Amino acid sequence: MLTLAEGHRLFEREAYPADRNLYDELATNHRPVALFIGCSDARVVPEVITSTRPGELFVIRTAGNLVPPHGSVDAIAASIEYAVEVLEVPEIVVCGHSACGAMTSLALDHDLSMLPTVAGWLATAGHKRGDRALSDQEAVAQAVHANVVRQLVNIAEYPSVRKRLTAGHLTLAGWIHDIGTGRIDIVAPK
Ligand SMILES: [Zn+2]
């Protein structure tokens, strides 16, 4: 595997010259076609799973693809507001995924006492323990699904999002990406 610096030298040598016109255009234009909110997990790469190119996706990645409830002032809320109000993205996707470490720790009640910041962050997900008769795998899948539904509710309550949804200028969708198969399941907003 290349180091990041070696990878960048390769980009400068091969990928950049091949797309020189695109980068010339992007140097002064920022018009993404969607806001993608996904998990920080390295295995779920938004541009790869959506076949998008530089300039097309405005991306927010957080542990567990959480969207803080409206009212918090943080980097995520600011990025959502900017994407919707200034960039006027016509589409938002909130994407969860299989084998999510964040959702696994919530679904299976992992001890996070050594990770107080992670514990505090995941507490904002509002996860409620599901049916205890479920297998671990089923409990995690249920948590992943319920979490995407909750984040769709949260983001729809942002005034900027609500305004453009009501006006019909924005669509909102929930996805669950299965890492092993590459499939996407659509999660209907409530
Ligand atoms: Zn994850």
**Distance from first CA to last CA of the chain, Å, rounded?**
43
97 alpha carbon to ligand 1 midpoint, in Å?
6
Element (H, E) at 120: helix 116-123
The model's pLDDT over 133-174, given as tens digits with 9 standing for 90+, comes to 889 999 999 999 999 999 999 999 999 999 999 999 999 999
34 alpha carbon to ligand 1 midpoint, in Å?
20
Query: Is residue 154 classed exposed, middle or buried when 0-12, 13-18 and 19+ CB atoms within 10 A define those classes?
Result: buried
62 alpha carbon to ligand 1 midpoint, in Å?
8
61 alpha carbon to ligand 1 midpoint, in Å?
9
Distance CA 87, CA 61 (A): 18
125 alpha carbon to ligand 1 midpoint, in Å?
13
Angle at 14 between CA 9 and CA 20, to 5 degrees: 110
Asked if 60 and 155 touch (Cβ cutoff 8 Å), the reply is no
The pLDDT, as a whole number, for residue 190 is 66
143 alpha carbon to ligand 1 midpoint, in Å?
11
DSSP 72: B
65 alpha carbon to ligand 1 midpoint, in Å?
7
Distance CA 68, CA 151 (A): 8
157 alpha carbon to ligand 1 midpoint, in Å?
23
Query: Is residue 100 classed exposed, middle or buried when 0-12, 13-18 and 19+ CB atoms within 10 A define those classes?
Result: buried
104 alpha carbon to ligand 1 midpoint, in Å?
9
Could you tell me the pLDDT band of residue 125, with boundaries at 50, 70 and 90?
confident
139 alpha carbon to ligand 1 midpoint, in Å?
15
12 alpha carbon to ligand 1 midpoint, in Å?
31
Count CB-CB contacts under 10 A for residue 56.
16
The model's pLDDT over 98-118, given as tens digits with 9 standing for 90+, comes to 999 999 999 999 999 999 999
99 alpha carbon to ligand 1 midpoint, in Å?
7
Q: Which domains does the chain have, with CATH numbers?
A: 1-29 (no CATH), 31-187 (3.40.1050.10)
What angle separates helix 159-166 from helix 136-156, to the nearest 10 degrees? 80
The model's pLDDT over 4-38, given as tens digits with 9 standing for 90+, comes to 999 999 999 999 999 999 999 999 999 999 999 99
